[in-house]
Amino acid sequence: MDKMSSPPSRRLHRAWVWPVVLAVGIFIASTRSQIAEPDISHIDKVAHFGVYGLLATLLCRLGRGWRAAVFALLAASLYGISDEWHQSFTPGRSVEVADWVADTSGAALAVLLYTLWPRYRRWLETRLERKRRIEKPAEVAPSSGS
């Protein structure tokens, strides 16, 4: 049974896999006292912006229209708050409102792009074609020049 012929409920269950995997990854990263990052000022805010933008996009893909967009933005923002609270229990980590602002800003931009820019949404939703395996051509034995 391919993806298109599977029941809608099964497709929806599969669609939840990636947002859940990302949320678990964020949770695991929050349990670490230190996270490797380059020595660039405020690079963590860029990371928060991008990761929560991705989370919001994955959540937005679960539905259609503004209802899904609002859900995705609220869910990503609330998860950002819970992540900051979770970090307060991790030695060496602290709660930063600026991190949550970066989380919510990244989620908001991602939801707006996904919802309002049809070309972007179509590009994200285009299935990758399975590439045919290109077999190596048979090696040609060197000819003897005698």
CA 25 to chain centre: 10
Token pair recorded at residue 36: 């490797």
Chain center to CA of 145: 59
What the block records as the tokens of 127 is 């299935």
Long-range contacts of 87-92, Cβ-Cβ distance < 8 Å, separation of 24 or more: 87/30, 90/30, 90/31, 90/32, 90/33, 91/33, 92/33, 92/34
Identity of the highest mean pLDDT range in 2-11, 40-49, 78-87: 78-87
Enumerate the domain spans of the chain.
8-34+44-124
141 vs 18, higher pLDDT: 18
The per-residue pLDDT for 71 is 97
d(CA 126, CA 119): 10
What ranges in 61-131 are assigned the alpha helix state H?
Answer: 65-87, 97-116, 118-125
In the predicted model, what is the mean pLDDT of residues 28-43? 76
Nearest Cα residue to 74 out of 103, 45, 116: 103
How far is it, in rounded angstroms, from Cα 38 to Cα 47? Answer: 11
The C-alpha atoms of residue 114 and residue 106 are separated, in whole angstroms, by 12
HSE-up of residue 103 (Cα within 13 Å, Cβ side): 22
Least confident of 79-93, 112-126, 131-145: 131-145
Position 26 confidence tier, pLDDT thresholds 50, 70, 90? very high
**Mean pLDDT of all residues belonging to the chain:** 83
pLDDT digits (tens, 9 = 90+) for 76-104: 999 999 999 998 888 888 889 999 999 99
